[in-house]
Amino acid sequence: MAAKIPATVVTGFLGAGKTTLIRHMLANAEGKRIALIINEFGDLGIDGDILKGCGDATCTDEDVMELSNGCICCTVADEFIPTMQKLLAREDKPDHIVIETSGLALPQPLVRAFNWPEISTQVTVDGVVTVVDGKAVDEGQFAHNVAAVDAQRKLDENLDHETPLSELFEDQIACADMIVVNKADLLGEDQAEALVRKLKDEARPGVHVLRATMGALPVDVLLGQGIGAEGDLEARHEVHHHHHDNHDDDDHHDDHPHEHGHDEFESFVVIRPEIEDPKTFAEQVAKVIRDHDILRLKGFVAVKDKPMRLTLQAVGPRVDSYFDQPFGTAPRLSQLVVIGEAGLDRAAIEAALKA
């Protein structure tokens, strides 16, 4: 029997730097033919667009397959397995498959899918790489909200210890074979060192924790771990799965595997006409993000008198933008995906972004 094709799962919270890391990997693939499967939260397919535009000969547009909006762990049967089957049926098979999960996905159900008989004889999970936004973790974004919970526990004994963000983070760390502390450029030496130590303590024994800036790690470090993660799932406990409803004593989760908290987050797209000036608009966006506690905002923006499209990326309060390619025949509109915890004031956010 032919050797199984290795597949690496790249996970990590919204905006941690998954797409950036994969882009660097493709640009430095050293002749390895890598196929990508991308799943994004938010409707615009921005990550796919950025990766397709990478222009690397080892990864053509056909090598990038996008799963429709949603979470990969909820669409295993309908989307993930058929996509893998399509990829595996190709004559010119890839050397390696890389799967970018959405920032809100739980990696465990995806890894479990590799045991499905439809694909299990042909492909194996080489390893799970969890990308972490070092700056956001250092600032406490994923901390258990101990103070708030303690205050509320006085009112409700059964309350979760976790915030939706801390739960996702724990699951993504628990499933990791390698953790990349990204955005090292935004951390001091001591902060970075302390964070690496902390994550080593939290991860399973033997997990490598590496620092990176712009996800720049050699392809041979990221790929070729040879773990076979689908074979040791019990070691990768799922914190998230057990929390939400205190019904651990029934088989509710087996009947409804989709109920694991994605409804705690929401996203929508805002469309607006051209902007006048990128710098002023970035300041406007940063203010909207602060005012409304938006987690992630990204999209493409049309700038008056500029033929190029401006890609705008914001993670928490940090806003980056750069001109990436001409609009060509595409309508000169600005389209932005907004992602946050459920309960965003959509009307106010839309008005503020369109102002």
Ligand X SMILES: Nc1nc2c(ncn2[C@@H]2O[C@H](COP(=O)(O)OP(=O)(O)OP(=O)(O)O)[C@@H](O)[C@H]2O)c(=O)[nH]1
- Do 101 and 9 contact (CB within 8 A), yes or no? yes
Contact flag: residue 48 with ligand X (CB under 6 A): no
Contact flag: residue 313 with ligand X (CB under 6 A): yes
Give the shortest CB-179-to-ligand X separation in angstroms: 14
41 or 114: whose CB is closer to ligand X? 41
Give the shortest CB-38-to-ligand X separation in angstroms: 8
Which positions from 290 through 309 interact with ligand X, judged by CB under 6 A? 296
Among 5, 29, 47, 238, binds ligand X (CB under 6 A): 47
Rg (CA), the chain: 20
Residues constituting the chain: 355
CA 224 to chain centre: 21
Stretch that binds ligand X, among 16-24, 67-75, 221-229, 252-260 (CB under 6 A): 16-24
Q: Which residues contact 279 (CB under 8 A, 6 or more apart)?
A: none
125 or 315: whose CB is closer to ligand X? 315
122 or 309: whose CB is closer to ligand X? 309
Nearest residue to 261 via CA among 175, 142, 141, 162 = 162
- Do 160 and 244 contact (CB within 8 A), yes or no? yes
Judged on CB neighbours under 10 Å (0-12, 13-18, 19+), 76 is middle
Stretch that binds ligand X, among 9-17, 58-66, 77-85, 189-197 (CB under 6 A): 9-17
Contact flag: residue 286 with ligand X (CB under 6 A): no
Structure tokens at 176: 């990791």
Among 220, 320, 324, 345, binds ligand X (CB under 6 A): 320
- Do 192 and 184 contact (CB within 8 A), yes or no? yes
Nearest residue to 203 via CA among 177, 164, 239 = 177
Residue 258 dihedral angles phi and psi, to the nearest 5°: -85, -15
Cα(47)–Cα(10) distance, integer angstroms? 13
Contact flag: residue 11 with ligand X (CB under 6 A): no
Among 6, 103, 109, 261, binds ligand X (CB under 6 A): 103
Residue 103 sits at the vertex; the CA angle it makes with 320 and 293, to the nearest 5 degrees, is 60
Stretch that binds ligand X, among 12-20, 53-61, 160-168, 263-271 (CB under 6 A): 12-20
125 or 337: whose CB is closer to ligand X? 337
Contact flag: residue 124 with ligand X (CB under 6 A): no
14 or 203: whose CB is closer to ligand X? 14
Give the shortest CB-276-to-ligand X separation in angstroms: 22
284 or 321: whose CB is closer to ligand X? 321
Cα(254)–Cα(238) distance, integer angstroms? 14
84 or 181: whose CB is closer to ligand X? 181
String of contacts with ligand X for each residue 182-221, x by CB under 6 A: xx-xx--------------------------xxx------
Residue 156 dihedral angles phi and psi, to the nearest 5°: -140, 110
Judged on CB neighbours under 10 Å (0-12, 13-18, 19+), 128 is buried
Binding-site ranges for ligand X (CB under 6 A) = 12, 14-20, 40, 47, 103, 182-183, 185-186, 213-215, 296, 313, 315, 320
